[in-house]
A and B are shown apart, each in its own frame.
Chain A
Amino acid sequence: MLNVNHIRKRFGQLQALEDVSFNIRKGTCYGLLGPNGAGKSTTIHSISGILAPDSGSILIDGTDLYSHTAACKRKMGVVPQEIALYEDLSAWNNLLFWGSLYDMSKQDTLKRAAILLDWVGLADRKNDLIAHYSGGMKRRINIAAALMHDPDLILMDEPTVGIDPQSRNHIYTMLQDLRKEGKTILYTTHYMQEAEELCDEIGIIDNGQVIASGTLEELRHQHPIEESLHVHFSESVTTLTDLPWTHQWEQDHKKLIISSRQTHKDLAAVIQFLDSRQISPEQIKFIPINLETIFLHLTGRTLRD
């Protein structure tokens, strides 16, 4: 459905996109995970046909985006990172206006707007001005406005940033609905859990480069990272010199990190071992291989910084 091939984009001195490539199969959800400033929005702008990359190509259903822009744009619905709605119009009128840009019949527009308002759970407030909505409600209308023309390919740029957990969950449900309808989705985020839980495939983007791509399983196996157990003690422990696992000490011997490929099995053994030495840990944490650890492994930084 969507092929992004080695796109590059420079803003003055700044190489915003260094080399971005990924493919999204029809009916799947692809998560683009990266910290702020990684180039997620720039990638979305390029794919939505408003920012031609300096080089590389973008194909929508095999058609080159920048040579058949209008036709490709009709297949796409773009949910921008910012709330791009008219504050002085009601939710209902916003939907009608955004729908009117896609040459739909009056009847279809009205029908579609009613369905979407119902779907986002704001049908009873449809005549309120957007200005009077809460952040989470605006976000939902922001999504609905992109879906008026019922596009097959949906680009969502960090649609859950800065909203309350309840609205966030509502948006997750909406995303599941879209997946069930067979939509193809590109979802950018800097939340690791969102990428893990919502997406079929994930690309990790950093400094304008997609540095890893695949299913979570594939990403786990692509990288020689081990799961680990973090054992915390209330006092420094210096007596444990004969540990049978690969390990290292941190925080002045108050924290023990045990690496393993089968942590869940090793956990019992570790507890038993400590018990036999009459040392009781304050806390034991199970650290799985997740996107956070993969990102850390790839960049030496956490997603937060």
Chain B
Amino acid sequence: MWQIAKKDLYIFFADKKALFLTLLLPIGLITLFAFAFGGVGQSASEPNPVILQYSDLDNSPASAALIARLDSISGIRMEAVDTAAGMENIRKGNRIALLVIDQGLEPALAQQSALPAHLFFDESQAMEVSILQNMLRGMLGQMRATAAPAPESAGHQEPEASNLQMVSVVGDETSNWGLIQAVAGTAIMMLLFSVSAIGASIIEEKEQGVLRRLLQSPQPAFSLLNGKLIFATIIALFQLVVMFLFAWMAFGLPVGMNLPGLILMIVVTALCCSSFGVLLASVADSKRQADSLGTIIILFMSAIGGSMIPLYIMPGFMQDIAVISVNYWSIQGFYDIFWRQLGIEALTENVLILLGYTVVLLTLSYYFFRRKALRL
């Protein structure tokens, strides 16, 4: 099986067209998406009910009224937390924002002075946060107006808007979530395309009679499948490494931030995608079928998994089904590394799920390979 992988690598690197498709095309797309998402615009869509965490340190009738009014809005659910836990939730990506009301809300409303309220948020969820922000501002403005009606002579005064202090919790100047989205999303989608092409080559070998000749040798029947899997994994690793190097050199993606985590995610992503390619080859009856089936599945997974469109601008139910895609777990892993800047242990769930996918995909591959490819 090593001979098979070696031979395929040799052919691959001799083929300029394959190299182009594996490297230049994704690099082009990453560049495109990086610019597209770089300054993300607001897009209209129906978001999930947003869970807004709050920590009420003021504990006054005014703060209670504010929370009750927020909770009564249909799109928002209020959740009481303590400040530290709330911040941690945002960092881990479990919640998008935390409203902290410090002491002295009532006097501040009445005196038109700076409000003791902070909204901590995750910038990668920009759209939902901005909705929250607007609602909060509106509401605080109303409350202030009732507390101390502004004198007409003073003319137009809009103090409320600037009084809610916005604090981004996740990410910093060095990280740009649009870039992360562009790199991770594109890399995984393109990776799926290249491994499915490798998978399709198994079928091509069957159609050409080369598979039969391989089987006539004393090598075990599955060595072809294993050889292709090794080959696909090596190409996948190669492709991902080049993608991230490119993002680092061209756009300054801080790849050194959590290198062990990044390597771990690259390896499991490569394994999982490769087994997808091999399964495709084992299931399909002809090369043409493998190609079209592969394209459909990859586009579907990429669309729902957040490769093409960032997850947060999708409606809630779409975000819920995203978890069935390989893309989702992989992209979220890369977000954890670069955006949330979490440690390697935060990737446990993503890694386990991707490995689980790998095991399932490979088991199915062996099953179908025995049933189909080995029948001559």
Contacts and interface: CB of A to CB of B under 8 A. Distances in A.
Contacts of A163: none
A74 B219 CA distance: 10
Given A86-B7, A86-B11, A102 B213 contact: no
Nearest to A76: B216
B217 A84 contact: no
Nearest to B376: A51
**What bracket does the count of chain A residues touching chain B fall in?**
20 to 34
Contacts of B10: 89, 93
B103 to A, nearest CB: 74
Interface string B44-59: 0000000000000000
A88 B218 contact: no
B214 interface: yes
Contact of A50 (B7, B14, B208, B216): B216
B15 A88 contact: yes
Contact of A88 (B14, B215, B216, B217): B14
Interface in A88-102: 88-89, 93, 97-98, 100-102
A103 to B, nearest CB: 8
B138 interface: no
A243 interface: no
A85 B210 contact: yes
A168 B180 CA distance: 61
Contact of B376 (A45, A78, A83, A93): A45
Contacts of B210: 84-86
Contacts of B14: 88
Interface in B193-215: 208-210, 212-215
B208 A74 contact: no
Interface residues of B, number: 18
Contacts of B214: 101
A71 B217 CA distance: 10
A141 to B, nearest CB: 12
Dominant SS among interface residues on chain A: loop
Given A51-B376, A73-B218, A89-B11, A97 B3 contact: yes
Contacts of A49: 216
A145 B217 CA distance: 11
A213 interface: no
B201 to A, nearest CB: 10
Given A70-B218, A97-B3, A101-B217, A50 B212 contact: yes
A82 interface: yes
A267 B11 CA distance: 64
B7 A89 contact: yes
Interface string A41-67: 000010011110000000000000000
Contacts of A82: 208-209
B212 A101 contact: no
A145 B213 CA distance: 10
A80 interface: yes
Contacts of B213: 78, 80, 84, 98, 145
A80 B218 contact: no
Contact of A78 (B11, B15, B216): B216
B10 to A, nearest CB: 7
B7 A97 contact: yes
* Residue among A76, A82, A101 with most chain B CB within 10 A: A101
A50 B218 contact: no
13 contacts: A45-B376, A69-B218, A73-B218, A76-B216, A78-B213, A80-B213, A83-B209, A84-B208, A86-B210, A98-B213, A100-B3, A101-B214, A101-B218
Interface of A: 45, 48-51, 69-71, 73-74, 76, 78, 80-86, 88-89, 93, 97-98, 100-103, 145
Q: Which 4 A-B pairs have the closest CB atoms?
A: A101-B217, A82-B209, A84-B213, A100-B3
